[in-house]
Structure 1
Amino acid sequence: MRALVQGARLTPTQRRIARELVHHADTVAYLSAGEVAELAQVSQPSVTRFAMALGFDGYPALRRRLRELTAGQRAAPAPDGDNDLQRAVRDEMGNLNRLADHLADPAAVHAAAGLLAASRPLPVLGLRAAAPLAGYFGYFAAKIHPEVRVLDSGGSLLYERLEQAADSGAKAVLAYALPRYPRELRDALSEARVLGLKVVVVTDSPVSPAADLADVTLTAAVGSQLVFDLHTAPMVLTMVLLQAISDVDPAATQRRLEHFESSANRRSVFMD
């Protein structure tokens, strides 16, 4: 599914359709063009143009291909009587299952870990809804990485802080790009590339607006069944990435963790 859309040059409207295709592949393959348009909140002709942008004659040809790709993989129906809240949680469980399947090939995670572990300092970028995830990563990464800089606010200072990180020796930046994608995030990633930084992006889809600026893209779907998005899968992917970073140099990781524990005990940081 991801291979169909990865690398294609898509308009913003087509990216929205692609996100629905990737996130709801088990059902989209059995919907009409009109139903897909309603799901993605676009016009029906947009769905046809999207299929043609991927190299198909029209939506029916794309749907046939989707059915071939998803044959035997349709999700089991939710238990009868589930309410909206239960359905939202079950949908999030599906996102986690898809993440687990995607990690069968951990090459991208290991590539990202290698770039981030070697960057001194390591800037971590997350704006608006993605800011808490950047902070979450930064809190734990600081225990195993000598210098982590969380950049979670925009404005002109953001570009200065990227420049300062590059001047201090940074080689890579980690960015969280989650819906709704701030325009300022894309601008900051463009600036990071100008500064010569490698870009690792954690995002919800291989066709998110930040993916084409990344050297390594890691994806985890965002739940959209409630008023505000659920970031469960991106948070799990964050911990997976931290594990991979810690495995780059296990001896150094162990030394830093032991130093933290010694310091925390001396200062009685925790109650247990």
Structure 2
Amino acid sequence: MKDINVYKLIAEKMSSMTKAQQKLGRYILQHPNQVTFLKVGELAEEVGVGDATVVRFAVQLGFSGYPALQERMQVSLQQQLSTAEKMYLSEEVYKDEAQGIQQIFHGEQANIQATMKQLDMNAFHQVVQDIVGAGRVYIIANRSAKALGIFMHYYLAMMIDKVEMIELIEEQADTLYGLNEKDLVIGISYARYTKRTTEVFSYAKDKGAKTAALTDNWASPLVPHADSVLTAESQMPALINSFVGPLSVINALLIYTGREKQSGFEKKLQDLEEVWDTFGVFE
């Protein structure tokens, strides 16, 4: 069982499990980042099952006990499932037509709770100060995380003068000319992590720029190159990632950045309102 991804194994074994074990399995699939470091009693309490159920669950999967399962979960957390494998997980977890939608919403609520619980407040305030004090701010985001980057760039551009969104480095490499210690580079990437985001983020660190990683866990490839790390729960057993937690962190960063920039920001907003009124931007 050395090379198997344990989350895929759980999905495959779900149909042969007891109801209590299925409940435990669904919880693990929906909250892989949270579960990985929980002890037997802590996991049992979170799910609402007995300690014995957790132990039997591990044995049912072919492990000698929960410690062996836990070790494998920690390894599997770093293995990125393919799109097809995530689709398979989705079919197993949400197979109950009547309960599936409810489970998705409950999963999103749990992601918000987990994000709030794990948020490093010192790192959060440091990133706000780094944004406010930066000569230039660069946002690096690709593929699905691009949506988060565009949202963040849109509002940051209202608050500060020099903000760049980097999507295609092949076409925007010149933008990074002169990158230095006065600049801040924000890397946004959640599993499956995009290679290009990590490469550009690493380059920024090598050039001496301050770096802030918005990612899902401390095993993320962005972390070794980050001065500040803000994690948010993004996992769900489905084709897509959950961006409820990450977007909440970005919302909080924008709100606190706006507070720090309030004096100059208010004047800029007034000027923008005049432009919007002139061209009838809003109804």
Which TM-score applies when normalising by structure 1?
0.69
| 1:5-63 C-alpha deviation (Å, 9 max, x unpaired) | xxxxxxxx89xx9x82525756378534974996xxxxx968547889xxxxxxxxxxx
Is residue 2:132 matched to residue 1:117? yes
Aligned to 2:159, the other structure's residue is in SS state: coil
1:220 paired residue number: 232
Match among 242, 245, 252 for residue 254 of structure 2: 242
Is residue 2:153 matched to residue 1:153? no
* CA distance in structure 2 between the partners assigned to 1:89 and 1:50 by the alignment: 24
What is the Cα deviation at residue 199 of structure 1? 0.6
* CA distance in structure 2 between the partners assigned to 1:158 and 1:36 by the alignment: 52
Structure 2 spans left out of the alignment, 5+ residues:
7-27, 62-66, 76-95
1:179 paired residue number: 191
* CA distance in structure 2 between the partners assigned to 1:135 and 1:122 by the alignment: 13
Specify whether residues 267 and 86 from structure 1 end up closer, same or farther in structure 2 by C-alpha distance, changes over 3 A only: same
1:41 paired residue number: none
Specify whether residues 221 and 252 from structure 1 end up closer, same or farther in structure 2 by C-alpha distance, changes over 3 A only: same
1:166 paired residue number: 179
Match among 111, 127, 130 for residue 95 of structure 1: 111
Contact 2:34 2:114 survives alignment (8 Å) = no
Is residue 2:247 matched to residue 1:231? no
Contact 1:116 1:122 survives alignment (8 Å) = yes
Structure 1 spans left out of the alignment, 5+ residues:
1-12, 39-43, 53-79
* CA distance in structure 1 between the partners assigned to 2:59 and 2:195 by the alignment: 26
Is residue 2:275 matched to residue 1:263? yes
Between the aligned residues of both structures, percent identity stands at 18
Aligned to 1:166, the other structure's residue is in SS state: coil
What is the Cα deviation at residue 159 of structure 1? 4.1
Map of 1:3-14 to 2, 5 A cutoff?
A: none
Which TM-score applies when normalising by structure 2?
0.67
* CA distance in structure 2 between the partners assigned to 1:195 and 1:21 by the alignment: 31
Task: Determine which structure has the larger helix proportion and give its number.
Answer: 2
Is residue 2:153 matched to residue 1:138? yes
Contact 2:234 2:245 survives alignment (8 Å) = yes
**197-206 or 223-232: bigger deviation:** 223-232
What is the Cα deviation at residue 223 of structure 1? 3.6
Contact 1:122 1:148 survives alignment (8 Å) = yes
Contact 1:125 1:173 survives alignment (8 Å) = yes
Structure 1 counterpart of 2:194, which letter? P
What is the Cα deviation at residue 158 of structure 1? 4.8
* CA distance in structure 2 between the partners assigned to 1:37 and 1:51 by the alignment: 18
Match among 215, 238, 243 for residue 203 of structure 1: 215
CA RMSD of aligned residues (A): 3.5
Aligned to 1:217, the other structure's residue is in SS state: strand
Contact 2:140 2:201 survives alignment (8 Å) = no
2:13 paired residue number: none
Contact 1:36 1:47 survives alignment (8 Å) = no
Aligned positions, number: 221
